[in-house]
Amino acid sequence: MVLSLIVFLPMVYALFVAGLPEKAVKKATLGLSIIHFLFSLSLLQFFNPDTANLQMVERLTWMPELGVTYFLGIDGISFWLVLLTTFLTPIVIAGSWSSIVKQEKAFHISMLVLESAMIGSFLAFDSILFYIFFELSLIPMYFIVGIWGGENRIYATLKFFIYTMAGSLLMLAGIIYLIFQCDTQLGQISASVLDFYKLDLPFVSGRLLNPQNVLFFIFCLAFAIKVPMFPFHTWLPDAHVQAPTGGSMILAGVMLKMGTYGFLRFVLPVFPESVAEYTPLFMALGLVGIIYGALVAMVQVDMKKLVAYSSVSHMGYVILGLFAMNMMGLQGSLFQMLAHGISTGALFLLVGVIYERTHSREIAAYGALAKAIPIYAISFLIITFSSIAVPMTNGFVGEFLILFGTFQASPYVGSVAVLGVILGAAYMLWMVKKVFFGEEGAIVKKYPDMPDMNWRELATLAPLVIMVFWMGLFPGTFLRVSEKSLENLVKNKHNYNISVELKEDDSRSLGVNSEL
C-alpha cells in the first residue's frame, strides 16, 4: 500500500486543507507536503536497484470486462521522477509564499491535487489509469495559470489546455486499439502496459500507413506536446510567462517530464520497429529544438521568457538521448530530466523573487544588481552554472552523457548538438552580464534600498542548490537506480518485457495471482 499512499495522500491533504481557515492554509500545506516528501523517502528502503523487475506492485480488479485494473508499480525509470515530484512540491509552495495573495486555499488545493496526478502518472501500469492521471494533471494547472497568472492568462491557459487535450484524446484512441489487440493476440482483453509490451503490431518498412506507425505517431504526438518538443512547443512560453512563480516551477520541474517519461514507458518499448524507422526524424527534431530554443532565447527581452525557451532547448537534449537508444543516451536523458527539473525550477524561483520586488522582468531595465543584492546575484550565478552545464553541476552530467550517447548513434548529429552547449552558455551569461553587472539600470535607480534575499527565500532555494552539486559530484547515486531498467530496455528493445516482483503475502492482500 506504500505506492497508493504516495499517490493519494496529497488528495487527502487537499480535503483537510479545504476545511481549514484561510490564515492557516499556507503553513498547513507546507507542513503536509514536507511530511509527504519524507514519507516518499521510504522508497529508498524498499526499492532494489539491482533488478529491472517491477517492484512494490499493487493490483486490483477494477473493470474486468474492459481489462482495466488498478495497477501501480515502480522501477528504475520512474523511481527518481516520483521523488523529484515530492521534493519539488514543498519548495514550490514555499516559493509561492508571498506571491499568492488571493484565493490562497484554492491555490494550495490545486497544487496538492496536481502532485497526486503527476505521481500517479509515473506509477500507473494500467494504460487507462495512466490516462486518467495524465489528464487529471491538466485541471489544477488550468486553474493555477487561469486564476493566478498574468494579464494574458486566459489566452495562455486555453492554448495550453487545447494543445495538450487534443494530443491526449488521440492517445486514448490508440490505447483502446491496443486493449483490443491484447484480446486478439493474447487471448484476453487487457489495458496493462506490460501486456502491451507483448504485442506484435503489424509493421511494413517504408510504408507510413501501417498499424504500428499510426499508433507510434499518435502516442508521439501526445507526448511531444507535453514535453514540449519542436514544433509543438508554442504553448510553453505563453504558459510560463503568464503562470505564477509556483506554476512555472512545477510545470518546468515535473509536468514536462510526463511527456519524456511517456516516450520511455510507451513509445520506445511498444513500437520498436517504428522507433528504428523514424529515429533519424526524431533526432533531427530534437536537434532543431536545441538550436532553435537557444537562438530564440538569445533575443528575448523578458527574463522569464528566456528561461522558458531555454527549457525548449534543454528538453531537445532529452529527446536526442532517448532516440539514441543506447545506455549512455538513455541514462543521460533520464538524468537530464532530473537536472532540468532542479535547475530550471530554481531559475523560475529566482526570477519570481526579483519580480516580487520590482514588478519587472525586462532584462534591459536591470544592471549592477550584484552590488544592490549580492546574495541574490551569487545564488543566480550558481544556478546559471547548472543550467549551462559547468562541470561539477548536475547539468554537466546529463548533457555529457547525452552527447556521448548521441555520438555513438550518429557522430554528425552529436557534432551539431554541441553547438547547443555553446549557445546555452552565450544567452545565459549574456543575461547575467546585463542584469547583474555593468552600469546601473532604471530598476536599481528606482529601488536603491532593494532588500536582498530573506531567510525564507534562502531556505527555499538551499535544497535546490544542494541537489545541483550532489547530482554533479555524485551522479552514481542516481544513475545506479535506473541502470538495470534502462539496460533491459536497450538489450531487449525488440522483445521488451518487465517481470513483476510480487511477494506471496502481497498477492493475498491484493487478491491477485503472483504470476501476472
Q: Is the pLDDT of residue 204 over 90?
A: no
Cα distance between residue 291 and residue 365, in whole Å: 27
User: Residue 117: what pLDDT?
Assistant: 95
Task: Tell me what pLDDT residue 510 has.
Answer: 37
- Categorise residue 67: left if φ over 0, alpha if ψ from -120 to 50, beta otherwise: left
Tell me the pLDDT band of 130, cut-offs 50, 70 and 90. Answer: very high
Over residues 132-168, the pLDDT tens digits come to 999 999 999 999 998 998 888 888 888 888 888 888 8
Give the mean pLDDT of 360-375. Answer: 89
The predicted structure's pLDDT at residue 509: 35
Q: Are 154 and 146 in contact (CB under 8 A)?
A: yes
- If you search the block for the grid coordinates 532593494, which residue do you land on? 450
Residue 504 has pLDDT above 80, yes or no: no
Q: Residue 494 pLDDT more than 80? A: no
Report whether 89 contacts 250 (CB < 8 A). yes
Indicate if the pLDDT at residue 497 is higher than 80: no
Query: What is the arithmetic mean of pLDDT over 122-135?
Result: 94
**pLDDT for 30-69, tens place per residue?**
999 999 999 999 999 989 998 888 899 999 988 888 889 9
> What would the mean pLDDT of 266-292 be, rounded to a whole number?
92
Confidence of residue 450 (pLDDT cuts 50, 70, 90): confident
Average pLDDT, integer, range 239-244:
88
Name the grid cell of 378.
551569487
> Residue 233: what pLDDT?
86
Q: What pLDDT is attached to residue 511?
A: 35
Q: Can you name the residues that pair with 55 across neighbouring β-strands?
A: 74
322, 257 Cβ separation under 8 angstroms: no
Determine the average pLDDT of the residues in 343-356: 93
pLDDT in tens, 6-35: 999 999 999 999 988 888 899 999 999 999
pLDDT band at 507 (very low <50, low <70, confident <90, very high): very low
The mean predicted confidence, pLDDT, of the chain is 89
pLDDT bin (cut points 50, 70, 90) of residue 205 is confident
Asked whether the predicted pLDDT for residue 505 surpasses 70, the reply is: no
What is the structure's pLDDT at 101? Answer: 78
Residue 445, pLDDT score: 86
Q: What's residue 274's pLDDT? A: 92
Query: Helix, strand, or coil here: 367?
Result: coil
Residues 159-194: tens digit of each pLDDT = 888 888 888 899 999 999 999 999 889 888 999 999
DSSP label of 386: H
Quote the CA–CA distance of 374 and 451 in Å, as a whole number. Answer: 10
Mean pLDDT, range 437-441, rounded to an integer: 83
pTM listed for this prediction: 0.92
Judged against a pLDDT cut of 70, whether residue 513 lies above it is answered with no
Average pLDDT over residues 208-220: 89
How confident is residue 469, by pLDDT bands cut at 50, 70 and 90?
Answer: very high
Q: Is the pLDDT of residue 260 over 60?
A: yes
The gap between the terminal CA atoms of the chain, to the nearest Å, is 18
| pLDDT (mean) for 380-409 | 93
Across the range 414-443, mean pLDDT stands at 90
Cβ count within 10 A of residue 41:
11
